[in-house]
Structure 1
């Protein structure tokens, strides 16, 4: 990538003022939230399937997928409300948890990060929404807690019965070997395309 003058200046790069641990936690939150949105979308989309080859007409929220709130509402009506008695309360709790974290997720993704010398352990994200200046403060360990909560929500949405659902998915995949990206990197070491230089 080059600048307007056609020259690349590798020595000058502006940095977001975050610690490496904060970058990693924010990345974890964003990745798991994205996986959560995808899982809810797929579960909802599957309710429109009619056999192996037919799909009933999809509503706008499913065709455009630009509003997670709209998809979440469809998921509640088409998946959660029709779930069996053992699963439904688990999924309803996840909707409450998603609602509780949505504003923090939006602050994290759409805000600009900063901190003050008076509170060095706390990071702040600020943004303007509908003409209002909003700031959200993340005290020490808040990002770690946030990351853990999003991962838990994602897991409970995907596997509401826990290990039972995980085993069923594994069996449906043929019970074969599934290797994660981390596992792939471990197996192939320096020859792995995952093992790039992120420095």
Structure 2
């Protein structure tokens, strides 16, 4: 009797459930906050922001400031283009590639010129924006959600890169490199998962 009652209750709840959005979480506070939450709970977006901020912070305050501007602006441009013309069909592969490469660059800690760091931030921002735009428009959060996502990207990049730029001790720099290697390793695991799901 209990099993039948539980089954009937589950059926009724499922019949009246709110529609689910496959890629966006609803915070209940509005589109702007949904955009912020999207960046914070989407692993490939969060990891690329962390990796780009770590990379910029390693190269000093100038690179940190420029990356804090370049990453969100390019993300916004990519998001606007992506919401209008969905161009990226294989977005998981490209977004995984961006954070894996950025993480690897952090782990290697090479003396890169500031323009290389900014180029990485711009490419990552454009690709992730192009991937985010098409997912936000069908969910109905549109421009406000995109601005929320950009705000989260900007604040995270600014805070993290400025803190990393101030680190002077050797063990601090080693910890940053270890964090980069973990991000790169996460990318390799993601590539394995994508390959497995494609086979």
- Tell me which of the two structures has the higher relative contact order, counting C-alpha pairs closer than 8 angstroms and 6 or more residues apart: 2
Higher helix share: 2
| Bigger Rg, which one | 1
Is TM > 0.5 for Structure 1 vs Structure 2?
A: no
TM-score by length of 1: 0.29
